[in-house]
Amino acid sequence: MRIPTTVSLGVALLLAFACSVQAYDFFYSVQQWPGSYCDTSSGAVIRPMESPNQILQFTVSGPIMRMIQDIQSSLQTYWPSLHCPSSNSSSLWADEWATHGTCSETTLDEHSYFQDALYFKNQTFILQCLKSKAIFPNGGSYMLDSIITALTSCLGHVPGIGCNQDTSGRYQLYLVYLCINPSGTLLMDCPVYPSSGCGSSVVYFPSF
């Protein structure tokens, strides 16, 4: 039986598995902080959350609906569409599979791709880890190195961090990148990270 193996921070967790650019060497597990999605200059609008779990979690970012019917409830909680006017996330999931999932098709079919994303989201506990190190989503500012150190101590692997800017131009914690081995079963050290977009050594962690 395959071991089930998120994308929010989330750890939705934008939790999207993405192929490395040059070779199929690993997956990225990417999680996003919803508070940093909603307060950007792009004017994105977040629909009302349907579950308290969605408010308190990073979300997966990041199908064929009949292939994932048994996990749709979990996907709606941990990998929701954050943009209005969508009332469900089926189009988001379809886009994520088409953009990221299909490159993993030799290893992960549609169901395994989404199930694995949920598995890693629920194994990494990004928000809880940060809180345990006194890093809270309260609009405060934190040293980027402190965030990386905190997550490394909890996860056993050095994460990549992605930032965006709020409407005031402040850099804020937006994405957490972790790497998964080619079989989609274990966390691994990342051989390379995407560009962080963090133009400062101090980043904000907005409330949500």
Reduced to 3 states, what is the DSSP secondary structure of residue 185?
coil
Which domains are present in the chain? 27-205 (3.90.730.10)
- Cα 112 to Cα 201: distance, rounded to the nearest angstrom: 37
DSSP state letter for 101 = G
Task: Supply the pLDDT for residue 71.
Answer: 82
- Tell me what the pLDDT averaged over the chain comes to: 76
Q: Is pLDDT at 127 greater than 80 in this prediction?
A: yes
Element holding 27 (H helix, E strand): strand 27-32
Range ranked top by mean pLDDT from 20-34, 51-65, 82-96, 173-187? 173-187
Mean pLDDT score, 173-180: 93
- Cα 180 to Cα 47: distance, rounded to the nearest angstrom: 31
Which pair of tokens denotes residue 57?
């979690």
Lowest mean pLDDT segment, chosen from 50-54, 151-155, 169-173: 50-54
Closest of 180, 157, 150, 136 to residue 30, by C-alpha: 180
